Amino acid sequence: MTPPLVPSGAHPGVIAILGAVLVGVLTASQSRVNSELALQLGDGYLAAVISFGSGLVILLAALLFWAPGRRGVANLGASVRGRRTPWWYLCGGLAGALFVLSQGLTGSLLGVAMFTIAVVCGQTLSGLVVDRIGMGSVAAVRVTVSRLLGSLLTLVAVGWAVSSQVRDDTNPWIFVLPLVAGMGIAWQQAANGQVRVVAKSALTATLMNFVAGTIALSIAAAVHLAVVGAPDTMPTAPWLYLGGLLGTLFIGLGVIVVKHTGVLLLGLGAIAGQLIMSLALDAIAPVSGRGVEWTTVLGTALTLGAVVIAAIPSRAIRGL
């Protein structure tokens, strides 16, 4: 059954939008932790498995002490067995696994800037589509003038923010994987939000995400390690193993927030949060001595403006 359309005047509260920005802040923090772990391990596949796997362990431990989460697993299982909820709603974590995998396969070839542009393009365009179609009991949202303008401004702002890092010797076909990964993020957020509705538990939805992602990444890492072998030593700094915890926080928060913001605004707010945190990290602990670029500062400010514009109620675009 097609979900009803939300009228163009509907809009999320300030707290929900701030929650979306916080999702991005936590995502950027996890990216820095995971990238450093991958660098010290010399293996991005293993670093991704450690991040997802540790997050899964944390969630399983929390499930032992959180009765609503256990009831959520039972509710979700009954709904899937009764065919009231499609089984593929439980596969949102595969999109997260694809995103992490695309970082390892194309990140070094594209560079951070081009990789970010590809992901943001996919995430923004997919966010518009997923919001317009709706998913399960999550209502579809009309494409309005402000939402479309906010999306376009986000693409321009992110491109400007990372323009100083863009390389001109990249094969354009390498964009395909991170572009698809970005599209998957929007679907992942919608699927996770629907699982939460069915399970009546954000913990359960987050757990399902980590189960699917960990299984997929474990298979990919097993094949990879069989070919190249395992690292000789493991890093000892405790903070390098916080990626899983950070992941549980931002995925769980996204599960809660998406119901109030929709997929598009959640994505735009998260992009703004990532840029803000990236600025802070570059200022406090720059990678390879790189400081803060003025283009990144202005691009971040534009992205924040884009989120505000997209959240303003406006008329729906005819035909969309």
Contact by Cβ (8 Å): 57, 152: no
User: Residue 216: is its pLDDT beyond 60?
Assistant: yes
What integer is the mean pLDDT of 38-44? 84
Q: Is the model more confident about 300 or about 166?
A: 300
Q: How confident is the model at residue 8 (pLDDT cuts 50, 70, 90)?
A: very low
Mention every residue, 6+ apart, whose C-beta is less than 8 A from residue 205. 72, 192, 193, 195, 196, 199, 252, 255
Closest of 61, 60, 33 to residue 47, by C-alpha? 33
Its pTM stands at: 0.82
The domain ranges of the chain are 38-311
User: Rounded to an integer, what distance in angstroms lies between the CA atom of residue 255 and that of residue 132?
Assistant: 18
The alpha helices in the chain, defined as continuous H runs, are 14-41, 44-65, 67-81, 92-133, 145-161, 176-199, 202-228, 243-284, 294-311
Contact by Cβ (8 Å): 87, 136: no
Strand pairing of 5-6 and 140-141? parallel
Model pLDDT, residue 7: 45
Model pLDDT, residue 239: 94
User: Residue 236: is its pLDDT beyond 80?
Assistant: yes
Model pLDDT, residue 181: 87
Closest of 286, 215, 289, 277 to residue 250, by C-alpha? 277
Q: Of the ranges 50-64, 251-265, 270-284, which is most confident?
A: 50-64
Kindly report, residue by residue over 86-137, the tens digit of the pLDDT: 999 999 999 988 887 776 667 656 655 567 777 888 888 888 888 888 777 6
Contact by Cβ (8 Å): 192, 257: no
User: Rounded to an integer, what distance in angstroms lies between the CA atom of residue 167 and that of residue 169?
Assistant: 6
Residue entry with tokens 């200022």: 283
User: Residue 53: is its pLDDT beyond 90?
Assistant: yes
User: Residue 150: is its pLDDT beyond 70?
Assistant: yes
Q: Is the model more confident about 46 or about 100?
A: 46
User: Rounded to an integer, what distance in angstroms lies between the CA atom of residue 19 and that of residue 256?
Assistant: 9
What integer is the mean pLDDT of 303-320? 80
Closest of 243, 186, 319, 202 to residue 44, by C-alpha? 243
Amino acid making up residue 50: I
Closest of 49, 61, 111 to residue 288, by C-alpha? 111
Residue entry with tokens 């929900």: 16
User: Rounded to an integer, what distance in angstroms lies between the CA atom of residue 244 and that of residue 240?
Assistant: 10
Query: What three-state secondary structure class fits 9?
Result: coil
Burial of 233 (0-12, 13-18, 19+ CB in 10 A): exposed
Contact by Cβ (8 Å): 296, 275: yes
Q: Is the model more confident about 134 or about 58?
A: 58
User: Rounded to an integer, what distance in angstroms lies between the CA atom of residue 187 and that of residue 185?
Assistant: 5
